[in-house]
Amino acid sequence: MQRLQAFKFALMPTGEQERQMRRFAGACRFVFNKALALQKERYAQGEKKLGYTGLCKELTAWRNGSETPWLKDAPVHPLQQALKDLERAYTHFFAKRAGFPRFRKKGQHDSFRYPDPKQIKLDQENSRIFLPKLGWLRYRNSREVLGTVKNATVSQYCGRWFVSIQTEREVEQPVPQATTAVGIDLGVVRFATLSDGTVYAPLNSFRRHEEALRKAQQALARKTKFSNNWKKTKAKVRRIHARIANARRDYLHKTTTTISQNHAMVCIEDLRVRNMSRSAAGTAEAPGRNVRAKSGLNKSILDQGWFEFRRQLDYKLAWRGGHLITVPPQNTSRTCPCCGHVSAENRQTQARFACVECGFEEHADLVGAINILRAGHVRFACEVSGAVMPPAAGTHRSASRAAQCRT
């Protein structure tokens, strides 16, 4: 089977190469914004949206025009890739997978991509890579790049430049080494509770650096905008944000790697994080209640990185031959795993579960993980057999099973 994988390294450019990369990223940002403005103008005039081919013709005119002759200094392929990014953004918008494309800002996600592998030369022995109009760049060679190079993306993050090399290689069909299945209940007090009793404590990366970030942002607000001191303080704020994100990403990678190595099937809830972290402020006509408490809960939810956790589990399990099963989150923490009784009264507190029907008691997160595992087994069996999904777990209960639980 074919495996696409990206290898990301920190670049060590010279001063001239760093200036060139800033120019190339700025040129790609300019082309994206100019093309987006053109599309909005055509829409306002009732004209049809230009496709990628039409935008490429406009790009040729911009490069040869007298207003923007500096676009010729940038390689043409990354500029064309900026137009492809815009076309992809429109596709996602019309498919209702994302919002309307927005103009790019300087300093936010500055990057450019080389799509032609013939123009990229990788010298791993000497830890350097050749990119058009940049020449040979040194990079921190932390691991071996496996496979055939397909493209390379240069990006800036927290004042440093990185290169992401995407490769393609043929691998054998993976066979899972583990044979167990596990359900995972995600939370805030406990980051992840597994159905086998394993508990992963939350890292709370943002909470750990919140005080330092608050002081840095207050100092930034007191500075004159765009002054030298303002730029230094802004760089400090950026470094704190990078530290928060790096710590969270490192923790998620370690956790998902451990889980994917030890289990062949993982069942998790299909959580809608955007809906769960929606503000409770309401409107002026209908103000919300418990706004401050909900705001703190939203901050804690977003600090966990649940979507990234699911994304990493998905591809790591696939690489090892495992399966990731998502189940509906309804009533997973209200259903008794012993008798199947469903009631909001079963979960008396955030942590304590006590079934009002059979008296079964256990930690609420562990109960949720057990129910998620059972629902995952049912869903996986239906997917394999092609059968219609039965009603959600907990909608029916057996009287004999309840009697057994009472005894």
Question: Residues with catalytic annotation?
Answer: 185, 269, 365
Query: Which residue type, as a one-letter code, is found at position 106?
Result: K
Count how many residues are written for the chain: 407
- Token reading at 316: 């790591």
Tell me the Cα Rg of the chain: 26
Angle between helices 15-44 and 52-64 (to 10 degrees): 120
Tell me, what DSSP letter sits at residue 284?
Answer: S
SS3 state of residue 85: helix
Whole-number Å distance between alpha carbons of 354 and 7 = 48
Return the number of other C-beta atoms located less than 10 Å from residue 232's C-beta.
Answer: 12
Helices (H) and strands (E) in the chain, counts: 10, 14
Among 358, 365, 364, CA closest to 338: 358
323 in Cβ contact with 317 (< 8 Å): yes
239 in Cβ contact with 219 (< 8 Å): no
Among 150, 153, 152, CA closest to 167: 150
